[in-house]
Amino acid sequence: MPALAQTIAQWARGVRFETLGEKTVHETKRRILDSIGTALGAWTSRPGRITRNVARSVAIENGANLLGSNHRTTPDLAAFANGALVRYLDYNDTYLSKEPAHPSDNIPAAWAVGQVRGAAPRDIIAAIVLGYELQCRLCDAASLRAHGWDHVYYGALSTALLASRLYELDSDQTVHALGLAGVCNFATRQTRAGQISDWKACAFSNAARNGVFAANLARLGMTGPNDIFEGPQGLFNMVTGPFELAWSREPDEWMINKTYIKFWPAEYHSQSAIEAALALRPEIGDIDAIESILIESFEAAVSIIGSEPEKWRPTSRETADHSMGYCVAVALRDGDVTRESFSDENIRDPELLALLDKIKIVETDECNAGYPDGIPNKLIIKLRDGRTLEKKVTYPRGHAGNPMSDDEVVRKFKTLAAGVVSDATADRIVNQAMSFDKLDDVATLLAFETLRD
């Protein structure tokens, strides 16, 4: 039997734009637009500014564009800086399985390598689909979280693979790229534990930086460790145990079609709890009428966003958007969850914290049975007047089982772009992203003018 890396390399060679179905291409373009939107929404964030300044310190004449700029840098630094912007708000797309992930994190790497290689936008679309495919299939195959490791390890492999495709590496070179990326990019889940830091925005973009770098090294002739999966100190023996990997066979079977565009800027497992809270809010009236809130949920949600004491007293936006209790409290109080919901003022608000103290989150067998096909969260709210209100949501808006419309995706983009680019620029980005396969050059989409530095 060939090593798994060899099988993946062979599979990758069969991924071409012509093999993709119309739905797959359309979903890819929706995620390109959504990624630019989430990046613009994070434009003034501290991680966004820092990574942008790091990338600006290196200028390459024929390099990769930093978003919203004519500055060109190395593809690995462009993937790092642009990726941090896409990820910062926790508003980019999601896939949930044995391992959760945000597969649109692959997109900035495809932009960067595609641009320096002069790849046609159609080839960049195929590379994006390839990155989604490997990352999501790995998430289906084995959990990293269960062993204390972070999901971004799979992203180092997926970005190395898509970069190998855009660099036009042969199968042997691609195996070396996977070995180079796979041997040195393990990250612990401490990124997402306790009070969460700026690094959450950068964890995957750093993995992508290294995945792109690995593919370039392989392109130049460097060899990588053998048997990155099956070797005596490889992934199977050291972390996950052996697994088999599935792969798409039909034009619209690609995993990108099974990922979810986020409706609210919060960790994905909270999306159904937010929707349930908003549905019950009209029956509650004043939040002072609430006596207690019980959230029945599933293991992944409870362990990631519902168990640590820091989630009841967040001190950073990153911790607050990873607190299901906080997200439910702000939804009940304000009638929505937006970027502003996680401001320092809101995080410290005594009224909001008092409501948060009334929330308890428990894991139930019923909810566990519905995951990861859905994300079932059930709210049970007891009111001071004796009434009890209940609402369970399994497929929130944006989930693959309840997808957002194109109009909703465009509306989300324009909300995030407001004040960062002009209305005319926003309209142009929408049109170019949704016709990405017909562009002559990816730079025409990435090098737009912003209203802020």
Q: Which distant-in-sequence residues (6+ apart) come within 8 Å of 360 by Cβ?
A: 292, 293, 294, 295
Phi then psi dihedrals of residue 410, to 5 deg: -65, -40
% of residues, the chain, pLDDT over 70: 100
Q: Which of 315, 389, 325 is nearest to 357 (CA)?
A: 325
Give per-residue pLDDT as tens, 41-71.
999 999 999 999 999 999 999 999 999 999 9
Give per-residue pLDDT as tens, 151-192.
999 999 999 999 999 999 999 999 999 999 999 999 999 999
Q: Which of 298, 284, 304 is nearest to 358 (CA)?
A: 284
Structural domains of the chain sorted by starting position, each given as residue range(s) with its CATH number in brackets: 4-258 (1.10.4100.10), 268-393 (3.30.1330.120)
Question: How far is Cα 433 from Cα 45, in angstroms, rounded to an integer?
Answer: 24
Residue 86 has pLDDT above 80, yes or no: yes
Give the predicted TM-score (pTM) of the model.
Answer: 0.97
Q: Which distant-in-sequence residues (6+ apart) come within 8 Å of 189 by Cβ?
A: 145, 148, 149, 150
Q: Taking a C-beta distance cutoff of 8 angstroms, is the pair 374, 260 a contact?
A: no
Residue 17 pLDDT grade (very low, low, confident, very high; cuts 50, 70, 90) = very high
Q: Over range 380-394, report the average pLDDT.
A: 98
